[in-house]
A and B are shown apart, each in its own frame.
Chain A
Amino acid sequence: MGRYLLRRLGQMIVVLLGATLILFACLFVIPGDPVGSLAGSERSRDPAVVEQLHKRYGLDKPLIVQYGTYVNKLVHGDMGEDYTQRRPVAEILGPKLVNTSKLAIAAIVFDAVIGAGVGALAALKRYSLWDTVVTLITTILVGFPTFVIGMLMLNLFAVQLKWVPVIGDPSDPVQVVLPAITLAIIDAALVARLMRGTMLEVLRADYVKTAIAKGVPRRQVLLKHVMRNSVIPVVTYIGISFGSLLGGAIITETIFNWDGIGMAMSTAIQQQNNPIVVGVATWGVAIFVLLNLVVDLLYAMLDPRIRLS
């Protein structure tokens, strides 16, 4: 177990380094001077100032040196300084990460509770009206892009019904609901379908017959024998879909003006505020690989047939 964790940790570092290096390379080849605008409009720029800015941010160095500097600072807990505010990236992103976490956690809870719950009920009431409606709605939802859902939700609940303000306030727990649903609903539909399919299979399994033949009450058969087996693929799915959840967060936060790292990312990309872009990506990848490990550990815990190696 200890050796397994150590090896996984090593892998995670490699993934993190690889991902940030690729990102660095991409940003490097994007045309335009990310810090030029700091020295005024294009015409009035003093080349000396621009040069100094380049020096300050290390942009005069070759890519690999820039990257090395970044990594070196990173291991010392320094994520660099952004171009527009000239504040430490960690300081800027910290509170935004909290806001995004609220959104992401709410979304995952929604996926797990509503998605899995709806799917489980559909499986238990197979061929019922409920099952048909669930199948229909989830099929439609899966085809929708996140931004369309977000626009529709915003239009309906903020503009038409005026239940919530158009600009979200992350400190108000009620206001997390709308963006969280937007972020979660496609995955929730997928989770519902996955749960339904898995559970229908598990319900037919021999060991469920064994449990009934043993005289286990139906409720317990469902809650213990069926549920325990049905959640395994769902947990795995929610874990691996975390990457696309982060992608969806960029869109959702932008639509709902939710002051999280997703919105920071999309603004930073437009402004070529590269330290922020790199910062968000670094954290995103770090959280992603860490979560993958958690999912693998959870998977092994839920299914004793899985050996960690």
Chain B
Amino acid sequence: MAKSEESAAGAALLQVDDLQVEFVTRDGVARAVNGVSYSVGAGETLAVLGESGSGKSVTAQAVMGILDMPPGRITGGRVLYRGQDLLTMPEEQRRRIRGRKIAMIFQDALSALNPVFSVGWQLGEVFRVHEGMSKKDSLRRAVELMDRVRIPAAAQRVNDYPHQFSGGMRQRIMIAMALALEPDLIIADEPTTALDVTVQAQVMDLLAELQAEYNMGLILITHDLGVVADVADKIAVMYAGRIVETAPVHELYAGPAHPYTKGLLRSIPRLDQKGQDLYAIKGLPPSLLHIPDGCAFNPRCERAADRCRAELPLLQAVLDEDGADLPGRRSACHFWKETLHG
């Protein structure tokens, strides 16, 4: 299932390149994204992992063009959609891509849907805005979409308001809205976090199924490593606004090349661990106002050495024990070799 780095890059739908975002706050400048690069191809799923505050959402918002500016500002980098830089293109051109070519699914559908318009109106808006469809036709398409994401009695419920639906149904409506114009790429920012555990799997399955059907690229933002294993092709792990490790999903699970990833994997609850205390990485993520020198992870890292406090580790190729390049694998750790092989 995992595609090689080369084929993915060749067909890259979206390529984020050295993106930098900061927020000017009362207390200083919070450097939320510090040179993030990733790419997604058609039909490919990239999972972006990381603790709260690591910059996953801010990166996605910068791609989507929905950052709060101010206080946010993009201080560097490019966001290439089919080779065109979204950050420098005229707003009108970019708007035509939003919703039509790149769509987004938000974490909390209740707050992401407008409370004063019916779901049919909001679903139909995509067609009215991008295709100049009439109100009546757009409503008909809205019912089709609701059917498509398996909302029962869609025709009767199309004029209902968001608060009249259950959490799971609302998230299906968000998915339907993102899917409306069959975009090339969907960015899903923690699409199941706000849902009941029982509903989470259903919604995730639906999303994966539709993605496969339309051969869309998918950026799946989550801090739930459990969800990722089943659906993702590759993973990017973020820490303090940087990507610290990338890898094809199964290789990452089999052998992380960064102590932070290792810690994340160890903190997944497992059945055979029942009764034991759950492992947690010690300490807290750094304040983005004062990111530690050297490796941002060093105050929490069990392997940290002097070098880690002085020198910023760059994302570098990861090699296997014979010294051959492992495609798609990168780690931003001075001691990736020891972490992976040691």
Contacts and interface: CB of A to CB of B under 8 A. Distances in A.
Interface of A: 204-207, 209-218, 220, 224-225, 228-229, 232, 302-305
Given A207-B112, A209-B66, A229-B115, A215 B177 contact: no
Interface string B220-242: 00000000000000000000000
B116 A215 contact: no
B113 interface: yes
A215 B114 contact: no
Q: State the 3 A-B residue pairs at the shortest beta-carbon distance, nearest first.
A: A215-B99, A214-B99, A215-B98
B129 A304 contact: no
B96 A215 contact: yes
Which interface class (under 10, 10 to 19, 20 to 34, 35 or more) fits B?
Answer: 20 to 34
14 contacts: A206-B112, A207-B115, A210-B106, A210-B177, A212-B98, A213-B64, A213-B104, A214-B126, A214-B129, A215-B96, A225-B114, A228-B117, A302-B116, A304-B118
Contacts of B114: 207, 210-211, 225, 228-229
Chain A's interface: helix, strand, loop or mixed, by majority? helix
Contacts of A215: 95-100, 126, 129-130
A204 B130 CA distance: 24
Contacts of B125: 211, 214, 216
Nearest to A209: B66
A229 to B, nearest CB: 6
B161 interface: yes
A309 to B, nearest CB: 16
Contact of A303 (B96, B116, B129): B116
B66 A304 contact: no
Given A225-B114, A304-B116, A209 B106 contact: yes
B113 to A, nearest CB: 6
B177 to A, nearest CB: 7
Interface of B: 61, 64-66, 68, 91, 95-100, 103-104, 106, 108, 111-118, 125-126, 129-130, 161, 163, 177
A136 to B, nearest CB: 22
Contact of A220 (B64, B117, B129): B129
Contact of A206 (B95, B111, B126, B163): B111
B66 A213 contact: yes
A206 B106 contact: yes
A229 B161 CA distance: 14
A210 B65 contact: no
B117 A205 contact: no
Contacts of B161: 304-305
A225 B96 CA distance: 19
Contacts of A228: 114, 116-117
B126 A204 contact: no
A29 to B, nearest CB: 50
B113 A213 contact: no
B126 A305 contact: no
Nearest to B126: A214
Contacts of A232: 116
Contacts of A210: 104, 106, 112-114, 177
Given A211-B114, A229-B115, A216 B65 contact: no
Contacts of B116: 228-229, 232, 302-304
Contacts of A211: 114, 125
B111 A205 contact: yes
A225 B112 CA distance: 12
Contacts of A209: 61, 66, 106, 112
Given A206-B106, A217-B129, A212 B115 contact: no
Contacts of A207: 111-115
Nearest to B103: A213
Contacts of A302: 116
Given A210-B104, A212-B98, 11 more contacts: A207-B112, A214-B125, A215-B96, A215-B97, A215-B98, A215-B126, A216-B125, A228-B117, A303-B115, A303-B116, A304-B118
Nearest to B67: A209
B189 to A, nearest CB: 10
B113 A214 contact: no
A224 B129 CA distance: 13
A206 B108 contact: yes
A166 to B, nearest CB: 47
B241 to A, nearest CB: 20
Nearest to A216: B129
B99 A213 contact: yes
Contacts of A216: 99, 125, 129
A228 B163 CA distance: 17
Contacts of B95: 215, 217
A232 B116 CA distance: 10
A232 B103 CA distance: 29
A218 B114 CA distance: 16
A237 B130 CA distance: 37
A126 B117 CA distance: 27
